[in-house]
């Protein structure tokens, strides 16, 4: 069961005590006024509270005391609120001159101890399936999500090379979707391109119940990198060819009309 913090307990005790003091004070005031009211009635010649100046004076005195008390309480609350508004809410660092040396040394010791505990509590030599191992370049990286995120990037690059490239569908086979860039990719000794390896890795990431191994992830990422590099080279060649045509066209036009 969740236990309340000491601060919450202290705040509750403080508010309860304040309310109890106010209630007790109000009860004593009512009792004292009742006693004085009764005495004023008994000591009057007609023993009635009507047209009794003693009762009126006593009541007026208590009303004045009540009003003064309310004014003082409101003034106190306003003063505290204004002082709290002047307190800076921004984080301010402490220097050695701001606090006593024993306090500063204690803070530094606790900070060093906390840092040491945090460092010792970090997992070491822990392997989670589908995640990069600690201390490697894949640390904190989920293989499945990272590999699937490369599909959109390759699709955008392919669209720059082939503007009429088909729209990417969520569950389309990679080999079929990128079939138009297949002639641009070189083949290895087995007659396979980087797109074939990339398609296999994506299929594993999509439908396999088991998480990807680091070797499978590296194979897929290497294939994705090769595809991206080739698409970038094709894009640069297209831009260079367009620039060359723009530079040649004006000269050919001048020769024609000369």
* pLDDT grade for 90, boundaries at 50, 70 and 90: low
Q: How far apart are the first and last CA of the chain?
A: 96
For residues 216 and 141, is the Cβ–Cβ distance under 8 A?
Answer: no
For residues 138 and 217, is the Cβ–Cβ distance under 8 A?
Answer: yes
For residues 139 and 128, is the Cβ–Cβ distance under 8 A?
Answer: no
Q: Token digits for 108?
A: 């530094």
Please give the pLDDT value at position 252.
53
Please give the pLDDT value at position 1.
47
User: Which residues, 6 or more positions from 57, have their beta carbon under 8 angstroms from its beta carbon?
Assistant: none
Between 48-52, 71-75, 194-198, the lowest mean confidence (pLDDT) is in 48-52
What's the per-residue H, E or C state across 59-92? Answer: HHHHHHHHHHHHHHHHHHHHHHHHHHHHCCCCCC
* pLDDT grade for 254, boundaries at 50, 70 and 90: very low
Average pLDDT, the chain: 83
Backbone angles phi, psi at 166, to 5 degrees: -65, 155
Q: Rounded to 5 degrees, what angle do the CA atoms 8, 13, 15 make? A: 95
| Averaged pLDDT for residues 75-98 | 77
CA distance readout (Å), 4 to 11, 14, 54: 11, 15, 53
More confident position, 99 or 157? 157
227, pLDDT greater than 90: yes
222, pLDDT greater than 80: yes
Please give the pLDDT value at position 226.
94
* pLDDT grade for 258, boundaries at 50, 70 and 90: very low
| Averaged pLDDT for residues 209-213 | 89
More confident position, 11 or 210? 210
* pLDDT grade for 92, boundaries at 50, 70 and 90: low
Number of CB atoms found within 10 A of residue 41's CB = 16
Q: Is 122 helix (H, G, I), strand (E, B) or coil?
A: coil
| Averaged pLDDT for residues 219-223 | 94
Does pTM surpass 0.85? no
| Averaged pLDDT for residues 199-220 | 91
| Averaged pLDDT for residues 138-166 | 91
Nearest to 234 by CA among 161, 155, 159, 153: 161
Integer Cα distance of 6 and 233 in angstroms: 66
Integer Cα distance of 22 and 170 in angstroms: 69
| Averaged pLDDT for residues 160-173 | 88
Distance of CA 204 to the CA centre of its chain: 33
Residue 179 DSSP class: G
């Amino acid at each position: 069961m969740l236990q309340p913090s000491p601060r919450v307990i202290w705040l509750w005790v403080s508010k309860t005590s304040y309310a109890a003091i106010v209630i007790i004070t109000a009860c004593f005031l009512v009792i004292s006024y009742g006693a004085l009211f009764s005495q004023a009635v008994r000591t009057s010649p007609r023993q009635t509270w009507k047209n009794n100046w003693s009762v009126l004076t006593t009541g007026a005195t208590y009303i004045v005391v009540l009003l003064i008390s309310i004014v003082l309480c409101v003034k106190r609350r306003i003063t505290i609120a204004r002082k709290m508004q002047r307190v800076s809410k921004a984080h301010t660092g402490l220097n050695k001159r701001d606090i006593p040396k024993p306090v500063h040394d204690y803070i530094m010791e606790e900070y060093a101890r906390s840092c040491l505990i945090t460092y010792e509590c970090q997992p070491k030599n822990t392997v989670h399936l589908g995640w990069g191992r600690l201390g490697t370049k894949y640390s904190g990286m989920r293989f499945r999500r990272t590999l699937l995120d490369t599909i959109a990037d390759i699709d955008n690059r392919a669209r720059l090379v082939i503007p009429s490239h088909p729209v990417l569908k969520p569950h389309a086979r990679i080999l079929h979707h990128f079939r138009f860039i297949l002639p641009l990719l070189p083949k290895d000794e087995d007659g396979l391109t980087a797109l074939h390896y990339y398609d296999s890795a994506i299929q594993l990431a999509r439908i396999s119940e088991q998480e990807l191994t680091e070797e499978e992830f590296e194979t897929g990422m290497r294939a994705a990198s090769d595809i991206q590099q080739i698409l970038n080279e094709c894009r640069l060649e297209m831009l260079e060819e367009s620039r060359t045509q723009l530079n040649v066209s004006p000269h050919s036009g001048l020769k024609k009309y000369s």
